[in-house]
Amino acid sequence: MKAGFIGTGSMGSILIEAFIHSGAFNPEQIIAGNRTIRKVELLAETYPGLLVAQSNREVVLESDIIFLCVKPSEFKKVIDEIKEDVLPSQFIVSITSPVLIKHLESLLPSKISKIIPSITNYVLSGATLCIHGNRMQPEDKEWLENLFAHISSPIRVSENYTRISSDLSSCGPAFLANFIQSFIDAAVEVTGISPEEATLLASEMTLGTGKLLTTGGFNPTTLQKRVSVPGGITAEGLRILDEELSGVFSRVIHATHDKYQEDLEKTEQQLTIKQQSSQ
């Protein structure tokens, strides 16, 4: 099995490194290409055996499964380059949420899935969102999800809920980190605790909380109830958070959905124009 990657930006490189670290692929099984070739060369220097592709076509010609790790605005160009070389037996995996499976299936003959990763996959944790195309047979879906199980917990979602699912699993780490950093900054400012000590304490707290919510038998509501008691210190802190954060996450979700809709419309227009011009 040979895995090809078109695009080695932030998420593309995270996937490559996670697959290698988990043992899902050896470096010799990976070929990667990028608009800036030096990025791939650096990966090859870190992981000897990884093959540097000189073109997107080379990635497709040398691979059984191809990961498209490019921005929505780059999809038309990439598809134009590879469409004549893609085979029905190959797997195409897009990690770009605004690119719909129906558009990819109309332009490429391969088996197609959309898998939305998360930065948490870098430490072989977190979720990957799995949306499969019509050509994916049950055994194909099982094989692909077993592959991603090396680096994540694969979760099947409806394409209609791609954005909100991504908000929770992929954007969520940044949102949570923002909250934690604000907590740390306030602790340092108000009490004089060192930033290093506050960061260590908050980071360990976050790790432990994640374990409680996944394997510890708690959900967010029961965890809050277990930690706080009426009239206690935690309860007073939760009261302030409830007051100050009321409506914040609704506004966040509206903002991410508005941006997603904008990207979706632009991408749909590009790929629809591409499809019409090829007929």
pTM of the model: 0.92
Distant-in-sequence, close-in-space partners of 75: CB < 8 Å, separation ≥ 6: 68, 96, 99, 267, 270, 271
Whether 63 and 170 map to the same domain: the answer is: no
pLDDT at 274: 53
Whether 133 and 10 map to the same domain: the answer is: yes
pLDDT at 146: 98
Whether 117 and 214 map to the same domain: the answer is: no
What is the domain range of residue 223? 165-252
Distance between start and end Cα atoms, the chain: 34
The first and second tokens of residue 29, run together, are 């099984």
Backbone angles phi, psi at 59, to 5 degrees: -60, -45
Within-domain flag for 266: no
Residue for token digits 């094989």? 143
Per-residue pLDDT of the chain (279 residues; tens, 9 = 90+): 999 999 999 999 999 999 999 999 999 999 999 999 999 999 999 999 999 999 999 999 999 999 999 999 899 999 999 999 999 999 999 999 999 999 999 999 999 999 999 999 999 999 999 999 999 999 999 999 999 999 999 999 999 999 999 999 999 999 999 999 999 999 999 999 999 999 999 999 999 999 999 999 999 999 999 999 999 999 999 999 999 999 999 999 999 999 999 999 998 888 876 555 555
Whether 149 and 178 map to the same domain: the answer is: no
**How many independent structural domains does the chain possess?**
2
Whether 77 and 137 map to the same domain: the answer is: yes
pLDDT at 268: 86
pLDDT at 271: 83
Whether 62 and 130 map to the same domain: the answer is: yes
Last residue of a domain, one of 162, 195, 216: 162
Q: How far apart are CA 192 and CA 182, in angstroms?
A: 15
